[in-house]
Structure 1
């Protein structure tokens, strides 16, 4: 595959070790000249996993990652730097900072925990979602604009309701052109879609962007589908919360939370 073709089939192109250029597929839903946070969150996770993999003694699993969105995510070249905040053999904390035009726009912290065989005592809520293979696709782009939304295949388990939806999401695109992406980064690159599948009010009248995303995982994801069992709550003073039980084809694997700033669109 040549470079041009690879770029059209991915969300980002690598410029050098730390810099990436978004393709039009990364375009946002609130503003098509911005990056949708979903692929950018996956890109940050990819950078963290590369940072871990560069160490010969690496035996840690990314178990929690929290993103704080600090500024406008322009659809422009970005730089991601990763550093170890708290080193350790069994518990380690990493931090990644995304900069666009030399300004920090995202700060992420990831807890990585040691791999231990706990299969004999593994357990928790089950409740697998119906397989995505037999479900119809939903034209999410009829509700939301932007290159990212146009790129994903969304398959609701049942018709979405205001503030409530359960759906599978996948994409045919790669995260970074010409690079293999791990299962966690690929999975995370679709999680931020949760805030758009269970809208409580139409986005043509109200804004409710998230300013953060926190993901907890109790196991590694499997397969190409991200399952989102999502509830959205709006409070009375301009705050909201999007809460999601995360699934893959094998069942539940974690949780995601997003805090929302809720406000009417001018002139709506």
Structure 2
């Protein structure tokens, strides 16, 4: 079963694979982020590539029927802006840039992380058996869910984003990018919660293959504000970066 079942006219039925680790009725932000990215691509002007997406997460996305909208808000010769939304829960603003073929010499850093040797490691306890954590495959090169501090994890979708469709490269990176704060937590999960209120993803290029790597580190201020910073890679090298602003507080 996929993360979403298409109902037509921009409506989707959420499945239990979207479920986040804490609330049985709410989604992990990765699947709806990817669903909005898919909507952005559906209205993108020809020849333009998505290079930046900023998500505002107003409230948890429920596991329910969702309506997705998208529209081009500005279009120039080289740059376009697209807005997409799952109201009233989550909105996305996307920047697109016209892409050519071999216009300039490529200058990218070398491959520094490798899937070879990465291993599956135990997840922290959750209240349910099926969800995002079972619909995704995780392999760690550094750190783990149960260790504090920076971590490097490779993620792959076990399920399609939308039933009957092969996930595209943008969907593969967006469904994973929201996990940066989850793999690099700095506090005891049993005592503190850390919720991201936004997500911004910058992409130099879209990933090649099924695996997306997150090299993540979280910083937390005593005022209860955090920042999760993530370098994004595929097996050919860096593809971009993501960041999440965090609300951090003791559990009640």
TM tier relative to shorter chain: over 0.9
Conserved 8 A contact 1:62-1:113: yes
The residue correspondences of 1:203-242 to structure 2 (distance < 5 A) are 203-242=189-228
1:19 pairs with 2:11:
yes
Aligned to 2:170: 184
Conserved 8 A contact 2:195-2:246: yes
Aligned to 1:129: 113
Shift of 1:150: 2.2
Deviates more, 1:221-230 or 1:80-89: 80-89
Conserved 8 A contact 1:128-1:250: no
Aligned to 1:6: none
Q: Which secondary structure does the structure 2 equivalent of 1:14 belong to?
A: strand
Cα 1:89–1:10 change in 2 (3 A) is same
1:69 pairs with 2:53:
no
Unaligned 5+ runs, structure 2? none
1:156 pairs with 2:140:
yes
Aligned to 1:81: 69
TM-score (structure 1 length as normaliser): 0.88
Conserved 8 A contact 2:43-2:72: no
Q: Whole-Å Cα distance in 1 between the matches of residues 85 and 94 of structure 2?
A: 12
Q: Which secondary structure does the structure 1 equivalent of 2:205 belong to?
A: coil
Q: Whole-Å Cα distance in 1 between the matches of residues 193 and 179 of structure 2?
A: 15
The residue correspondences of 1:87-166 to structure 2 (distance < 5 A) are 87-99=75-87, 104-118=88-102, 120-132=104-116, 134-140=117-123, 142-145=124-127, 147-160=131-144, 161-166=147-152
Unaligned 5+ runs, structure 1? 1-8
Shift of 1:219: 1.1
Shift of 1:159: 3.0
Cα 1:144–1:251 change in 2 (3 A) is farther
Deviates more, 1:62-71 or 1:29-38: 29-38
Conserved 8 A contact 1:163-1:233: no
Q: 2:2 aligns with which of 3, 10, 18?
A: 10
Shift of 1:90: 1.4
Q: 1:60 aligns with which of 42, 48, 53?
A: 48
Q: Which secondary structure does the structure 2 equivalent of 1:97 belong to?
A: strand
- The structure with the greater share of residues assigned to helix is 1
Q: 1:245 aligns with which of 208, 212, 231?
A: 231
Conserved 8 A contact 1:12-1:23: yes
Count of residue correspondences? 248
Conserved 8 A contact 2:109-2:237: no
Conserved 8 A contact 2:143-2:150: no
